[in-house]
Amino acid sequence: MSDQVLAIPRKRAGTSFVQSSMVRVLRYTLVRGVTLFITVLVGVYLTVLVANMGGYVDQIRKGEIRENIMIQVMNNPALRNLSPDAKRQLVEERVRLEERRLGLDQPFLIRSFRFLENALTLRLGFAQLMNSDSGSRQVKLILLERLPATLLLFGTANLFIFFLSLFLALILSRQYGSLWDRLFVVLSPTSSAPGWFYGIFLILIFAGWLRLLPFGDLVDAPAPQSRILYALSVGKHMILPIMALTLSSIFLSVYSWRTFFLIYSSEDYVELAKAKGLSGRTIERRYILRPTLPTIVTNFLLTIISLWTGAPIFETVFNWPGLGRALYQAVGLFDVPVIVGSTVIFAYLLAVTVFLLDIIYAILDPRVRVGA
């Protein structure tokens, strides 16, 4: 329905309509952006609360202050001639002053907001045990270094799953009741198992038994020198993880999306379009895909969120050097700043994902554009 309603004002009003719908999309995006920012704020604050119940956050901040002052004192040429004892005294004195300056002697409520501010600006402190590959102890660097690997794997997998599901769902909705259709319906409960679970099976089959693909990791060791070979090696290592993520979500998405398509293809306006003699492809694109896309995007969003949250374990199973495995390693080493830091980064990642899909949603959903 909405499509036809839309079509009339567009012809009459021309550019002014386009402008007003742009404004609406922008306004919607802005409102969502602000809401998401507040969400992240609350989420990170909760993280701080959970972490600080054992006083861990204070430890992180005090450790950071001490490390900074130590470096300052060591690197100050004016202080080079001091005896080690005098230097230590100087450090202690400065640490005390700095802690007072930063308000570490203040009540928890005020301190918690300061830490929230630090977390939001990614001042995540220093790791206790872990190092980044470049040798830094800064949690921010450790985590940002891991981010590209995670983004590469999950970004590719999500895009692949989205388009493959869409494609299969469209085909199945055309062949409602066929053998393939029933197969997908029967297999849809398999999506209750998470990706890492299928990962273990796939590793057993393709790496352990058939020896066709690597057990895990990002590239071959030693890593190939030429760029092209490097990319090919990474690609080879991505096959199994992407297969695992696909297996864990595709049957359910295809099943539910095909059901959407079927519901929408029995609408009156689709019948009318058929009666007008429009081709199958046009009907599919304009009359079935268009109205269902917003719902599908929302649906897909939930899948992405669950994939994101599963990253720590998924990357561990595949030994993928990403953010999730950093979190897993931090748990093993009990490296508190890294654990808190990765939780904060995960909150950000979720928010960014939701925000991006919200923009797409705003562009797709006619209700946002016409302001209904």
Interface positions with another protein (CB under 8 A): 35-36, 38-40, 42-43, 46-47, 50-51, 53-54, 56, 186, 188-194, 196-197, 200-201, 203-204, 207-209, 215, 259, 262-263, 302, 305, 308-313, 316-317, 327-328, 331-332, 334, 336, 339-340, 342-343, 346-347, 350-351, 354
DSSP state for residue 148 in the 8-state scheme: H
Nearest approach in angstroms of CB 164 to another protein is: 21
Under 8 Å between Cβ of 124 and 340: yes
- Of the two residues 219 and 344, which places its CB atom closer to another protein in the complex? 344
Give whichever of 112 and 188 is closer to another protein, judged by the CB atom: 188
Q: How far is the CB of 226 from another protein (least distance, A)?
A: 29
> Between residues 29 and 190, which has the closer beta carbon with respect to another protein?
190
Nearer to another protein, 29 or 39 (CB): 39
Work out how close the CB of 252 gets to another protein at its nearest, in angstroms, rounded to a whole number.
9
Looking at the Cβ atoms of 332 and 371, the one nearer to another protein is 332
Q: What DSSP character marks residue 260? A: H
Closest approach, Cβ 208 to another protein, in A, equals 5
CB of 293 to another protein, least distance (A): 19
